């Protein structure tokens, strides 16, 4: 039978990709909530809905600030709740931490309260690799210690902790996912890939954090892969917190297939644009205190359960750069 899904942050970058992927690959109905006053853009939703006539019939949009409403009353029961809404810009969390952290904590509390009333089959709390702090040698595994470096990462760790407490106290079937850096169409121009593309387009120097021999590294995955991993988690059988008793809720890392340094990534972006790269190194710590040099997640748990990422890194990059070159308004 068709399922009801509640997706918060639907007008955000990853939210819109999740909406599209779920509409394309299921017959489910999606209710999407977004304030449109944070980083959400209604154009993202419109682009998705324009892809197929029947998408409109399986989608309901609610404009609401989830942090303000202490109780969210929804008549429809939801089988799955995906809490993706968050303020997500690290720099903004550093310049003005109070409203930023309050937003991420309050909206999660409100969604968990809703889940407590609605008793969904699963509540997915979307989190990030940044909650672990910097990676030194080996990538983090699920349930490694969280040592966040900046208020954004701390607010995501707080979301995880609240969700886990609702799992233990109220039996909310929580699943926590941690993801690495996403790329894809319609990304906010403040993020690394569109920012590098913008600098290359303008003919300016691309700033690389670090120095020769010590450059920051990350892995990247397409937002569609992230959406596909969520769908896999919701539809696989035997996920413990949804189907039985364990000592912890489910937690899964969603990782990319290549760990790249920031210079390598900028060079690959320039290559995909058919352009050359002018760059300069800047000291990472003085330029961006609170930012971590290396992030890394071990994604083997999800792969061992049978998840196959739809796109590899090369395809993800090419698709993203090609689309963005054809839609340069998204670089503004
Ligand atoms: N983009 C990445 O690389 C990345 C990596 C790891 C984890 N994540 C996580 O994935 C999620 C989505 O990230 P994104 O890149 O799409 O971010 P985004 O900023 O594009 O989207 C977040 C959405 O949440 C909405 N929102 C924020 N506060 C709200 C509130 N109080 N009420 C209603 N809506 C609100 C915003 O309007 C926006 O549409 C976030 O939880 C983020 O922490 C993102």
145-199 per-position pLDDT tens digit: 999 999 999 999 999 999 999 999 999 999 999 999 999 999 999 999 999 999 9
pLDDT of the residue at 212: 85
- What atom in ligand 1 is closest to the CA of residue 67? 31
Token pair belonging to 302? 């999800």
Residue 28 CA to residue 7 CA, distance in Å, equals 12
- Residue to substitute in 63, 65, 88 for testing ligand 1 pocket (most ligand atoms within 8 angstroms of CB): 88
pLDDT of the residue at 238: 55
pLDDT of the residue at 243: 46
Q: Which residues of the chain have pLDDT under 50?
A: 240, 243-244
> Counting Cβ atoms within 10 Å, is residue 221 exposed (0-12), middle (13-18) or buried (19+)?
buried
Which residues, at least 6 apart from 35, have a Cβ–Cβ distance to it below 8 Å?
A: 63, 64, 65, 66, 85
The SS3 of residue 238 is coil
Enumerate the active-site residues: 129-130, 152
> Counting Cβ atoms within 10 Å, is residue 139 exposed (0-12), middle (13-18) or buried (19+)?
buried
pLDDT of the residue at 288: 73
Q: What is the pTM of this model?
A: 0.96
- CA 242 from chain centre, in angstroms, equals 22
C-alpha dist (Å) from residue 165 to 116, 135, 161, 196, 331: 12, 26, 6, 40, 40
Q: How many residues does the chain have?
A: 332
- What atom in ligand 1 is closest to the CA of residue 8? 34
- What atom in ligand 1 is closest to the CA of residue 87? 27
The set of protein residues with a Cβ atom below 6 angstroms from ligand 1 is 9, 11-15, 34-35, 38-40, 65-67, 84-88, 103, 107, 126, 128, 156, 179, 181-182, 188
CA of 227 to the centre of ligand 1 (A): 13
pLDDT of the residue at 287: 66
Q: Kindly tell me the sign of the dihedral angle through the C-alpha atoms of 275, 332, 37, 79.
A: negative
């Amino acid at each position: 039978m068709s399922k009801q899904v509640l997706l918060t942050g639907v007008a955000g970058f990853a939210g819109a990709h999740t909406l599209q992927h779920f509409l394309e690959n299921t017959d489910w109905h999606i209710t999407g909530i977004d304030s449109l006053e944070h980083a959400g853009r209604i154009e993202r939703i419109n682009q998705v809905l324009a892809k197929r006539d029947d998408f409109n019939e399986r989608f309901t949009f609610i404009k609401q600030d989830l942090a303000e409403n202490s109780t969210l009353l929804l008549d429809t029961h939801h089988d799955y709740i995906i809490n993706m809404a968050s303020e997500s810009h690290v720099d903004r969390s550093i310049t003005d931490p109070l409203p930023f952290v309050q937003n991420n904590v309050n909206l999660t509390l409100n969604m968990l309260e809703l889940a407590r009333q609605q008793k969904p089959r699963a509540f997915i709390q979307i989190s990030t690799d940044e909650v672990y702090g910097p990676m030194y040698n080996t990538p983090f595994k699920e349930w490694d210690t969280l040592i966040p470096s900046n208020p954004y990462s701390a607010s995501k760790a707080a979301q995880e902790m609240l969700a886990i407490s609702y799992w233990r106290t109220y039996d909310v079937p929580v699943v926590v996912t941690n993801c690495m850096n996403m790329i894809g169409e319609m990304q906010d121009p403040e993020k690394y890939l569109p920012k590098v593309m913008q600098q290359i387009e303008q003919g300016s120097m691309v700033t690389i954090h670090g120095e020769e021999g010590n450059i920051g590294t990350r892995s990247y995955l397409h937002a569609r892969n992230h959406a596909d991993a969520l769908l896999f988690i919701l539809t696989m059988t035997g996920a413990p917190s949804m189907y039985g008793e364990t000592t912890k809720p489910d937690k899964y890392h969603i990782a990319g297939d290549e760990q790249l340094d920031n210079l390598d990534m900028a060079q690959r972006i320039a290559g995909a644009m058919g352009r050359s790269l002018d760059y300069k190194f800047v000291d990472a710590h003085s330029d961006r205190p609170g930012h971590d040099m290396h992030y890394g997640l071990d994604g083997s748990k999800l792969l061992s359960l049978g998840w196959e990422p739809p796109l590899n890194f090369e395809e993800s990059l090419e698709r993203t750069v090609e689309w963005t070159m054809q839609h340069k308004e998204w670089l503004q």
